[in-house]
Structure 1
Amino acid sequence: MSCLEISDRLWEHVEPLLEPFKRRRPGGSKPLEFRTVMNGILYVLKTGCQWDCLPACYGSKSAVHEHFQRWVAAGVFKEMFRWSAAEYEELEGFDLAWQSMDGSLVQAPVRQTRCQKDEGLGRNPTDRGRSGGKIHLQVDGKGMPFAVAQAGANVHDSRLVTVTVEAAVIEAPADAGQSPRHLCLDKGYGYERVEREVAGLGYTPHIRKIGEEKRSCDSEPTHPARRWVVERAFAWLKGFRAIRTRYTCRGANYLAFLQLACALILGRRIEAKTV
């Protein structure tokens, strides 16, 4: 049996979400345990293997994949991300005063589909026009993810700000209007329209303009660098091989993998705090 298993803490909250999917009619072969199915999905996420290569200890690969498709359509993995974020907020709390956002390109050597834009695929301008995708992530001041979106590799980062903010699984605090919220972005967002967009979303934008040089050490003091936390979060995400290289054709399936990975990242921090 693989050591990749969903934690007891997370499973206690996931199990009620899967209750509607239990078989109601008797007969037929014995159904797979849902926890075993979830462990199989976690195995694919972590190793990046094909569904056909799923170890037999997780059951029939077609049954596991069928359950995965049904759970994606029902929004189970988004709810897992939402619950993990709520649990983390209660235990430690997100640092929303200083937030960061960025995008990261991923290779997507999948077969061509008729609606690449709808599935979050596009020609990668940095990879000779090959098929690729993009992960767009928003994190708090400590690098904990709470919003993730996906798009084609040919979609510019500056076009995904509002989409990502609206994908957040946590609600803004009640005193958000009184407490300033800062959003750190790199030079790729250095457009006046982005500054207006970020300000309209209730953030104070911090964007270094293209061509602007770093200030010298003897200049007036500035805020410490805060963008590195989002780069670290991307490193955490790409530790899951099914995310590092996208082999799924459907955008909904890849987004579900992203949401599950974010839930597991938050879950690791929760477990570390409760040990």
Structure 2
Amino acid sequence: METNILEKQMRRWPLYGGGLALLQAGLLVGCDRTPEVPAPPPATNVVAPVAATPAPQGPERLILAFGDSLYAGYGLDRGQSLPDAVQNRLRKDGINATIVNAGVSGDTSAAGRQRFAFALDNIKRKPDLVLIGLGGNDVLRQISPAETRTNMTAMLDEAKRRGIPVMLTGMMAPPNLGPDFSSQFNTIWPDLAKRYDTTLYPFILDGVIGNAQLMQADHVHPNQNGVNKIAARVAPVVENALKKAE
């Protein structure tokens, strides 16, 4: 997507009002339709696999999807989250993929950093790939981009220490936060992808943000059609990341 088109979409992304829904929801995989302010994840917050579908033959490719409400499936029924949709597409392509959804609504990069090692420790084996999708709540809270970068770096360092390949799904700041904030924030993901030689999908909401037919009423979270559109774009990138990790 050309930068000017993307900026036009981002201008329609509210930072307040309905946008604050991104800071709300429960800690379960999938979405609790009764939003609540999230508490720090307790030690019992064990990740769970996305809804199972018949898998093709071949060795299992285990993927951990680690992110915020855009992974957790805020506002959607169980089985409709982005990890579900990506898993289904991978299996249709003949890849025996199991995606464990460790998305937590309301997580900032700091909250993600706090629970990242725990999530890795509580998956059944070392994953073949980790998808990291955080940063949206940092934007809504206008957290310093330097802090976001530090938190993302710490998670990538942890994955590297464990020998686990990572794919980043990036976030972008709306232009109305100003050019300084946007330039500092938007460069985090491409910089880290280059530094750690990781696969990058630059903007997770690319192609859906600003389109009322693809977004929920809060204008921040994609609806099922929006999720499916994102998955159609993300799944091939995940496939390439898996091949790169072989």
Larger Rg over CA atoms: 1
**Under TM normalisation by the shorter chain, which class is it?**
under 0.3
Q: TM-score if structure 1 supplies the norm length? A: 0.25
